[in-house]
Amino acid sequence: MGHAARLARIAEGVAALAGLEVCGAGYEGVGIAACVATGSAAARRVLGGARAAVPG
C-alpha cells in the first residue's frame, strides 16, 4: 500500500470518530510551517465541532 492510499484510509477512519483529528508532517506537507498549519486546521475543526455540539 502506498503512502497516499494509507493516508486516505486514515482520513476515512478519523472522519468516523467525532472530535478526533490528525495533523503533522506525516499527513500533510513537511517542515515546521506545514505542521503548524495542519495543527491549526485540526484545532479549528475540533473546536468547530465542539461548538456545534453545544445547544445554543
**How confident is the model over 37-50, as pLDDT tens digits?**
999 999 998 998 76
28, 34 Cβ separation under 8 angstroms: yes
* Cell numbers describing residue 20: 478526533
* Cell numbers describing residue 25: 508532517
pLDDT in tens, 20-41: 999 988 888 789 999 999 999 9
Q: Taking the model in full, what pTM does it have?
A: 0.70
Cα three-residue angle 9-17-44, rounded to 5 degrees: 100
CA dist., res. 14 & res. 4, Å (int): 15
CA pseudo-torsion sign 27, 33, 36, 41: negative
